[in-house]
Amino acid sequence: MKFITLLPKAYNDGSEVSPQTVEEIVEAVSFQFGGCTVAGDAKGAWVHEGNLYRDETIVLICHCDNSRYTEARDAVIAIGRKLNQLEMYFEVQDFDGAENLKVE
């Protein structure tokens, strides 16, 4: 399966996520799943509890066996916790679709 997540370039308070923090995440995901691709920057918006959030993000793509779905999902939630996010985008291709994951 292929999974995609979006790494925010800023925390919810507007402060910048450091390039070092992004690199730490990329390295951790690479070691966990055997590699990943930073596919570039993206801009978007999403709604949470009636509030519109505008984000600049970094697209991160990984491949792994379908049997690692839960591990991949948990890894994205852990990234969300590290970055103090409310939700994380998690798209799975060649398996079963996309979802937004609650980061609680």
pLDDT tens, position by position, 40-69: 999 999 898 998 989 999 999 999 988 999
Query: What is the structure's pLDDT at 90?
Result: 96
- DSSP class of residue 10 equals B
Q: Measuring CA to CA, how many Å separate 6 from each of 35, 67, 79?
A: 16, 22, 10
pLDDT number for residue 44: 94
Q: Which residue has 């916790």 as its token pair?
A: 81
Fold of 2-102: Alpha-Beta Plaits (3.30.70)
Tell me which residues of the chain have a pLDDT lower than 50.
none
Domain residue ranges in the chain: 2-102
Give the span between the Cα atoms of 67 and 50, in whole angstroms: 35
